[in-house]
């Protein structure tokens, strides 16, 4: 993304210029590398940034995969990162990789270099790399992270794919309804104008709508456009999204499966961190951001109990952070001393459960949605043709 930098040049003059970077810290570092004393950094808003925002995100998974391949081929770590920077076409990503390599050439660790770019690398990723540096097993750690991210992405893609068809149905139904209300109904309204008093109530209401559209087309179109924009704006408000999320959490079946989904992702993350060498309490603190605020408060209490020496399974159960299967597997992990593997198995079991539920819900929801859209469109059509049916009945 583009940033506007205001800084003092080496000759003492104040200058304002633009540059491309992944985040604000990267922009500051790049400007400092050019010899400027940075006074302020502001993001430059333009239309192109709206389209490129997703593309400018640092590809952490791809970076990990390519770095693992180069390390397995025998390249030193700094050389491998420099190689990735040379082949990169995106200026922002290339600049980040070059700064990481430069930091490491100064004698600092990879985790310290990654920590300087919080917009590109999450604290979870930095902690994973930092744990691997203690045991000198960066390669296996990257492999574990790649497997972890692929599993998380797989369940996320499954949820997204399940929502595509209902979204298309809603869009198609909305477009057909608007076409009928804005184009077809006004044409029928002209036919029924002379019989306005003989029409059924709902047909009269549609006739009034037809007259409004016919006489004030621009106003009606503007109001509909404003309504759609307003709905899109309101949906994106954090307060509204939080309220909808709270409503879904209270729903009997949906809320329980949302909780299971979050716990599965949480347990998979903790398992990866434990296998990477992080202490249990530190791993629990790292995974807290993956949970809903309600579950996060429970996790804080569970972490306190674990740090006081209480069993993990008991602490999680008392704070409602387990399922019957998770509780049994946590107890087995405590007895065998292999908590990381057990948490991976908990996540795998619940991922399969979530997948089955998504399939079932999709098969139930799609026919119901199609029936609802059919009722709405069919109701509009019936109201348009009802006077014709009445006229045909009177002729008999």
Which of the listed ranges 18-32, 39-53, 269-283 does the model predict with the highest average pLDDT?
A: 269-283
Decide if pLDDT at 49 tops 60. Answer: no
CB 5 within 8 A of CB 19: yes
- Give the tens place of pLDDT for each residue, 62-104: 899 999 899 898 888 899 999 998 888 888 888 889 889 998 8
Could you tell me if residue 285 is inside a domain?
Answer: yes
Q: Do 17 and 146 share a domain, yes or no?
A: no
Which of 5-9, 127-131, 164-168 has the weakest average pLDDT? 5-9
Q: Tell which wins on pLDDT, 336 or 276.
A: 336
Decide if pLDDT at 171 tops 60. Answer: yes
Q: Do 92 and 197 share a domain, yes or no?
A: no
CATH number at residue 29: 3.10.20
Model confidence at 173, pLDDT cuts 50, 70, 90, reads: confident
Q: Do 307 and 262 share a domain, yes or no?
A: yes
Could you tell me if residue 136 is inside a domain?
Answer: no
Could you tell me if residue 127 is inside a domain?
Answer: no
CATH number at residue 270: 1.20.81.30
Q: Do 206 and 335 share a domain, yes or no?
A: yes
Q: Return the percentage of the chain with pLDDT > 90, whole number.
A: 1
Mean pLDDT of the 266-286 span: 83
Q: Do 173 and 99 share a domain, yes or no?
A: no
Q: Do 171 and 297 share a domain, yes or no?
A: yes
Could you tell me if residue 128 is inside a domain?
Answer: no
Q: Do 181 and 298 share a domain, yes or no?
A: yes
pLDDT at 246: 75
Model confidence at 48, pLDDT cuts 50, 70, 90, reads: very low
Could you tell me if residue 126 is inside a domain?
Answer: no
Q: Do 36 and 75 share a domain, yes or no?
A: no
Q: Do 276 and 374 share a domain, yes or no?
A: yes
Could you tell me if residue 132 is inside a domain?
Answer: no
pLDDT at 54: 45
Q: Do 155 and 259 share a domain, yes or no?
A: yes
Could you tell me if residue 349 is inside a domain?
Answer: yes
Q: How many domains in the chain?
A: 3
C-alpha span between 246 and 243 (Å, rounded)? 5
Sign of CA dihedral 11, 15, 17, 22: positive
Q: Do 68 and 201 share a domain, yes or no?
A: no
Nearest to 275, CA basis, from 154, 152, 135: 135
* Domain boundary residue, one of 35, 52, 69: 52
Mean pLDDT of the 312-329 span: 88
* Torsion region of 41: left, alpha or beta (phi above 0 gives left; psi -120 to 50 gives alpha): beta
What is the span of the domain harbouring residue 27? Answer: 2-52
Please give the distance of CA 26 from its chain centroid, rounded to a whole number.
23
pLDDT at 270: 86
Mean pLDDT of the 166-181 span: 83
C-alpha span between 312 and 19 (Å, rounded)? 49
Distances (CA, A) of 59 to 18, 23, 199: 23, 14, 62
The arrangement of strands across the sheet holding 37-43 comes to 14-20, 2-8, 37-43
Q: Do 94 and 11 share a domain, yes or no?
A: no
Model confidence at 50, pLDDT cuts 50, 70, 90, reads: very low
State whether residue 390 is helix, strand or coil: helix
pTM exceeds cut of 0.85: no
C-alpha span between 207 and 192 (Å, rounded)? 8
Could you tell me if residue 380 is inside a domain?
Answer: yes
Model confidence at 389, pLDDT cuts 50, 70, 90, reads: low
Mean pLDDT of the 42-71 span: 69
- Residue 324 burial (10 A CB sphere; 0-12, 13-18, 19+): exposed
């Amino acid at each position: 993304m583009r940033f506007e930098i205001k800084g003092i040049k080496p000759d003492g003059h104040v200058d304002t210029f633009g540059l491309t970077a992944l985040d604000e810290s990267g922009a500051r570092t790049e400007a400092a590398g050019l010899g400027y004393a940075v006074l302020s950094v502001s993001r430059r808003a333009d239309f192109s940034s709206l389209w490129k925002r997703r593309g400018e995100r640092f590809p952490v998974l791809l970076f990990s995969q390519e770095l693992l391949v180069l390390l397995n081929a025998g390249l030193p770590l700094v050389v491998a990162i420099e190689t990735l920077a040379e082949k990169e076409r995106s200026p922002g990503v290339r600049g980040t990789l070059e700064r990481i390599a430069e930091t490491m050439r100064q004698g600092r660790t990879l985790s310290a270099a990654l920590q300087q770019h919080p917009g590109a690398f999450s604290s979870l990723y930095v902690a994973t790399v930092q744990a691997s540096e203690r045991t000198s097993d960066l390669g296996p750690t990257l492999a574990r992270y790649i497997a972890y991210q692929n599993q998380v992405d797989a369940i996320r893609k499954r949820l997204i794919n399940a929502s595509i068809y209902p979204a298309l149905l809603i869009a198609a139904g909305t477009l057909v309804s608007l076409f009928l209300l804005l184009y077809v109904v006004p044409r029928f309204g002209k036919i029924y104008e002379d019989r306005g008093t003989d029409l059924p109530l709902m047909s009269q209401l549609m006739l009034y709508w037809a007259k409004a559209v016919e006489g004030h087309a621009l106003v009606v179109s503007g109001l509909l456009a404003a309504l759609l924009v307003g709905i899109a704006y309101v949906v994106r408000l954090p307060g509204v999204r939080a309220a909808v999320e709270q409503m879904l959490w209270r729903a009997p079946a949906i809320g329980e499966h949302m909780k299971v989904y979050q716990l599965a992702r949480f347990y998979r993350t903790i398992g990866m961190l434990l296998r990477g060498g992080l202490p249990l309490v530190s791993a629990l603190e790292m995974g807290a951001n993956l949970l809903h605020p309600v579950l996060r408060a429970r996790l804080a209490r569970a972490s306190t109990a674990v740090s006081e020496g209480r069993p993990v399974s008991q602490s999680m159960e008392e704070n409602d952070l387990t399922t019957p299967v998770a509780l049994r597997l946590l107890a087995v992990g405590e007895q065998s001393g292999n908590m990381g593997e057990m948490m991976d198995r908990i996540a795998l079991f619940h991922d399969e459960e979530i997948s089955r539920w998504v399939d079932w819900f999709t098969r139930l929801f799609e026919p119901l949605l199609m029936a609802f859209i059919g009722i709405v469109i069919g109701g509009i059509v019936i109201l348009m043709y009802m006077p014709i049916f009445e006229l045909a009945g009177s002729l008999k």
